[in-house]
Every structure is written in structure tokens, then in C-alpha cells.
Structure 1
Amino acid sequence: MQDTIYFGTYTRRESKGIYKATLDTETGQLSDLIEYIEEPSPTYLTIDDQKHLYSVGAVKSEGGVAAFDANGHLLNHVVEEGAPLCYVSVDEERDLVYGANYHKGQVLAYRRQEDGSLSLSDKVQHVGFGPHENQSSPHVHFADLTPDKFLVTCDLGTDSVTTYDILDGKLIEINNYQSAPGSGARHIVFQKTNKIAYLICELNSTIEVLIYDGVGEFSLLQTISTLPEDYVGFNGTAAIRLSADDKFLYASNRGHDSIVVYKCLGDSTLEKIQTISTSGKTPRDINLSSDGKIVAAAHQDSDNVTTFSRDEATGLLTEIQHDFKVPEAVCVYVEK
């Protein structure tokens, strides 16, 4: 079986934009890398059911989102003065695309037109700050749907997880959860089988296990570190992914440069079962293949992608290769 993998990148050195490659899910080998779309620093991307691709986008000094058709041709940019987004997601039922703007502390909703192009529908400005030196202002890092189809955002700058209802493309705040002060809420994933969410916190290298009662109501169940007890160097967490059967959780460490593997216990709390080197520098994103047999880790600073075989029974990872070159890779998207 073969998966098509897309890589979002920074374009600060040699990268040109979005790259595409083939992953053999039997061998775990990547091949056939091509430069798919030229775009300034498209650091995150997603693809809708009609195969439109949406990415972080920029035009000269203006930043926002970019829309492309199924062949990778530009449909349009929606940009304004300042930094571009850092996260994009699709809401198929409402014909919306959501964006998170880290530097400006904003959540955005875009209307998806019939041809796949976008227009701005709403924008919400977060306010506040936190105790960490990187929390002088809001830094929205994530905006995606909850299982009950509300929009949930993670704000690294204010340690907050905020949930919005959506009415005619407008965002209405309905709930707010505060993670530990100085933790830096970054990304969140939800179990399919239980009312549980896992929140990865960048600044204190933890995962908060949250009970999700629906309609944006979160409560803390457990906090667990992503690092070995004896590690004292710099670290910032990045990606968090959950296996399709809800049995294993994977998170990446930047600084320690590793993937930590957790077993999800019967009560959905986490037990750390493995920490494995990613054989690269700054693993910004990780993702599972469509069949769950392979994990790919993309490195921002060493320009390589490492693949691992995944034991579906134990959740444990074994490295396969680490010499597949993708420049400045920061997003791994597996085409559905």
C-alpha cells in the first residue's frame, strides 16, 4: 500500500514551499519527492474532501491563508498586513476553513466558495498573557473541531483552550479551560471511544489528560511529562497524534529530539512506554500512515524525515530510515 505524503516547510534557506512524496506502508520507505507548490513558508496545510489544499500563505509583507485546487494551482490568497497563520483546518459541514495566527493571537474563519477559494468570514482577537517569557501576548497555535463539532483553540500565550460555537460563519465563545500557568497550550487531540482529550503543552513539556464533557467543558484528569526524568536541557514539545484505536499516543520533543510513546490505560490516563530518538534536529511534526503501521517525523533544522515501523499491538516504534531529505520540513500531512 502507498500513501501520498505532503510536507509543509519554512522557506528561509533552500525550501521552495510544499513538497509531496510517496510512502510505502509495507516497507516504511519514502520516495519520489517533488516540489509540489511554490509558496512562502507554508508551514501547515490540510486538504478537504474535494482535494482542495489549504495552507499557511503569504504575499509580500502580508500574511494569511492560501487556497489551491486539486492540481496544486493557486485559487486565491486571503491575507492582511502582518504574519501569516500557523494552523489551518477544514469544516466540511459548514463550508468553512479555520486558521490560527500565532503572532497576532487571532482565530479566523474563512468561507469556502464553490470553486474552493476562500473569503474571510470572521476574526476573533485573543487577549491576555502568561508568566513565561514567551507569553507576553496571545499566541493561538491551533484551531480545529471537537467531536461535537464546536471549534476549539489552543493559545500558547495565555495557557487557554477556548471553545466556540459557529453560527453563519461567525465565532461565538462558549467555554474556556485554563491549563497550568506557563505551560503553553499548543495542540489537542480527542479520543473517539471516550470523552477524553490530550493537550500538549509546549513550554513545560507536558501532556494534560482532560475529561471532555462536551460543549467545550474540560476538566483535568492527569498531567504527565514528555521528557526523561534526568533531562535538563532545553525542550519544547511540538506534535501530538493518537492511534486510530485510541490505545497509543505519540508526541514529539524539540531539543530532546525524540518521540515519546504512551499507552492509554483503561481510564484513559497515560503510561509512558518508550522514548526514541528521531535521528534529526527539531522534529516539528509527526504523523501516522493511513493504516497506522508507520510513523513519520519531519525535522525543521536537519532537513530530513525519519520513518518508524509501529507495532500495532504494543505501540512501540522501531526506526526504518532517517536519510530522506525534505528541506525545512515542519508539517506532515497524510492524504486521506
Structure 2
Amino acid sequence: MLLAYVGCRTTKERNARGEGITTFEIKDGKWEEINLTKTLENPSYQVLHPNKKFLYSVHGDITKISSYEINGSDLEFKESFDIGGKNPVFIDIDKGEKHLIVAALQGGVLYSIEFQNEKIIEIKDKLEFKTETGLSFAHQCYFDKTKNYIFIPCQGRDRGDSGLYVVKINDGNFEITDYFKARKHSEPRHLVISSDNKHLYLINEWGNYVTFFEFDEENGRLNPRENISTLPNDYTGHSQASAIVLSPDEKVLIGSNRIFNHLVLYDVHADGTLSERDYVKTFGETPRFITFYKNNLYVLNEDSDTIIEYEYKDKSLIKKQTIESPSPVCLNFLEV
């Protein structure tokens, strides 16, 4: 059985229509909603435990995270935990499966939170991103392939610097090993790294471009190589770049553009550099989140209440179907 968990926005401030985490069952490619778990507001990003028994979510715009137990097709709320930092936006689990790692955007903090299954115990360590100009806003906490390092793209938002931190993690404790100061007002948002752990791609929300880095995993250092736009040369309107993923064969890098409402596709060359390949409609507004499951790409259009499924084939995307879901902003798959 294949299940899909969809996180969403729920508040009027977010112009949202969601009510909680929706569970879909997928049979022969068809999606059927089977459960709605009411949650605290804005369960906007989530991660599954490797044991497939628990799911953890952040709650955007407040200061809490939550845990849920998976019982077959049922998702049961267990507890919430106040981290203190406002607007947690990303959550993951460390290599030892002992700590939840959380980035709080307005809090400007990276957290390491000790946990055991559904029981969230205490904050083990936290790292506040202060620069000479003020607080920087942590928008993601993304592991390298060894799970020895965490990448944290930070936004300045006219109060701090835009940049990308590399943080070494050891038993839940943090140590900064490198920092890349990005262009002012570029607003780094999300990133992805190649399976060989050598090529890292950072998408910049306001700058609307991707920065390619080489990554030295031995020393936790970055080597910036190039910037490439997420927009076509003849597009002169506004846009806000959002999410970024690599195709399963890693031959194509894909980014999403909100407002412009198109995906950008790049060819990935052997040395990791990029060249523009194509632009594909998202068939909806505000593609905040994108993810692959096997050879299908899923685009979540937050303001159109849709999930668009594409087949990835021959370095191209072919639209397959539209799934209705209110204010969707995160998607996880689970085989049970």
C-alpha cells in the first residue's frame, strides 16, 4: 500500500483553506483521500521517521512542532513541543535518529531537539544566525549525503545578510565550518545536493537564480562556481523562486517559480555546471513545493489547491493528472 501525507496552510493570514494533514491512498495511480488529521495551525513541512511508525511536522507562523503515530492508514496526533523560535519551516532527523533538526525562519535559529519516537524530550543545541548587519532568517536545514553536515540557507530580509552556512553536527551539537555570503537581496531559500555529495545547487528566492557550488565533504567547505537564472530572458515580470530538486537520474535539475508559475529545467553537465533546458507550466498558482517519487514529479500549487503529477521521461516532464488538495505545501510518501 502506498500512502501520501499532504501538509498545508490553514490560517486566514495565509489565505488558506486547509484543515490539517491529509492522508491519501494511491492504488494503480489513483489518489483517494482516506483520512484528515486535525492539527495545530499550518502543518507546513514534515518528515517521516525511517522506522515508518512516526511523522513529525512543523507549524508555520507559530513556535511549535508536533509528532504523530502511524497506525496503518491512520495518523494519530501524539504531542506538540514549543521550540521558542517563530515560524519553523523545515524539519529532518539526524544520522543517529536521536535528534530532530529544525530551522526557524523568523527566529533565525537552527535547533537540535532530542527525541525518542513520539516523545520530544528537550532542546540539545541551538545556533542563532547573527551577522554584523543583524539577524539572518534560516529557511532550510538540509543534510549532506553523509549526514555529518547541515546546509542552512539564510535570508536577510533587510535585517541581516543573505548567505549559506555549512554546519557540522556531532551527537546533536553544532559547529559552523563555512559560510558563503550571497548577493544582497538574493534571499537563498532551498537547496539540493548530488548523490556523490560533490555538487550543491542553491535556489535564491528574490534573486531568481540558482548558485552551483562544489562541496568538500572532508573539510565541510564550499566552492561557488556559477549563477544561472530561473527565468527566461524574455520574461520581464515579477517572480519568486521556491523549490529545487534533482531528477532521479540526476541529468536534470528542476526549480519552481511562483508568480511566474513555471518550472525551470536545466541540463546537468559532468562537471556539475548547468545550462537552461526548458520551462514547463505548473498548471496552477504558487508552486511552493516540488518532490519526486520514483519517476514522477509532484508540484504543489498552494493557491490553486492542486497537486500536479508529471512523468519524468527522456529529460522531459509530461503532465499525467491533477489531484485536488486544499492549500498544499508539503508531500511525503510511505510504502506500508
- Per the alignment, residue 181 of structure 2 pairs with 178
Count of aligned positions? 321
Compared with structure 1, are the counterparts of its residues 259 and 129 closer, same or farther at alpha carbon in structure 2 (3 Å cutoff)?
Answer: farther
Contact 2:150 2:167 in 1 (8 A): yes
- Per the alignment, residue 310 of structure 2 pairs with 308
Q: Which runs of 5+ in 1 are unaligned?
A: 131-135
Superposition map of 1:147-296 within 5 A: 147-148=145-146, 149-157=148-156, 158-193=161-196, 195-214=198-217, 215-289=219-293, 291-292=294-295, 294-296=296-298
Superposition map of 1:8-87 within 5 A: 8-12=7-11, 13-23=16-26, 27=29, 29-32=30-33, 34-51=35-52, 52-57=54-59, 63-71=63-71, 72-80=75-83, 83-87=86-90
Contact 2:192 2:244 in 1 (8 A): yes
Compared with structure 1, are the counterparts of its residues 296 and 168 closer, same or farther at alpha carbon in structure 2 (3 Å cutoff)?
Answer: closer
| Structure ranking higher in strand proportion | 2
How far apart are 1:334 and its partner, in Å?
Answer: 2.6
Compared with structure 1, are the counterparts of its residues 230 and 30 closer, same or farther at alpha carbon in structure 2 (3 Å cutoff)?
Answer: farther
How far apart are 1:99 and its partner, in Å?
Answer: 0.6
Paired with 1:204 and 1:111, the residues of 2 have a C-alpha distance of 36
- Per the alignment, residue 107 of structure 2 pairs with 104
Contact 2:86 2:107 in 1 (8 A): yes
How far apart are 1:239 and its partner, in Å?
Answer: 0.9
TM-score for both structures, normalised by structure 2: 0.88
Percent of counterpart pairs with the same letter? 23
Contact 1:250 1:260 in 2 (8 A): yes
1:124 aligns with 2:127: yes
- Per the alignment, residue 145 of structure 1 pairs with 143
SS at match of 1:335: strand
Contact 1:287 1:334 in 2 (8 A): no
Paired with 1:229 and 1:17, the residues of 2 have a C-alpha distance of 40
- Per the alignment, residue 317 of structure 1 pairs with 317
Paired with 2:232 and 2:62, the residues of 1 have a C-alpha distance of 41
SS at match of 1:268: coil
**Alignment-mate amino acid for residue 333 of structure 2:** V
How far apart are 1:259 and its partner, in Å?
Answer: 1.1
How far apart are 1:326 and its partner, in Å?
Answer: 0.8
Question: Over residues 143-187 of structure 1, what are the superposed CA-to-partner deviations in whole Å (9 max), with x where a residue is unaligned?
Answer: 121123212211122221112222332212222122233211111
Contact 2:164 2:181 in 1 (8 A): yes
Paired with 1:288 and 1:115, the residues of 2 have a C-alpha distance of 27
Paired with 1:82 and 1:195, the residues of 2 have a C-alpha distance of 32
Paired with 1:220 and 1:87, the residues of 2 have a C-alpha distance of 24
How far apart are 1:279 and its partner, in Å?
Answer: 0.7
Compared with structure 1, are the counterparts of its residues 146 and 80 closer, same or farther at alpha carbon in structure 2 (3 Å cutoff)?
Answer: closer
SS at match of 2:141: strand
Compared with structure 1, are the counterparts of its residues 33 and 277 closer, same or farther at alpha carbon in structure 2 (3 Å cutoff)?
Answer: farther
How far apart are 1:244 and its partner, in Å?
Answer: 2.8
SS at match of 1:35: strand
Compared with structure 1, are the counterparts of its residues 23 and 272 closer, same or farther at alpha carbon in structure 2 (3 Å cutoff)?
Answer: farther
How far apart are 1:300 and its partner, in Å?
Answer: 1.2
Moved over 6 A (4+): none
Paired with 1:75 and 1:129, the residues of 2 have a C-alpha distance of 41
Compared with structure 1, are the counterparts of its residues 278 and 159 closer, same or farther at alpha carbon in structure 2 (3 Å cutoff)?
Answer: same
Paired with 2:234 and 2:121, the residues of 1 have a C-alpha distance of 48
Contact 1:288 1:296 in 2 (8 A): yes
Paired with 1:231 and 1:305, the residues of 2 have a C-alpha distance of 25
Contact 1:98 1:144 in 2 (8 A): no
How far apart are 1:20 and its partner, in Å?
Answer: 1.9
SS at match of 1:69: strand
Paired with 1:165 and 1:194, the residues of 2 have a C-alpha distance of 15
Contact 1:175 1:216 in 2 (8 A): yes
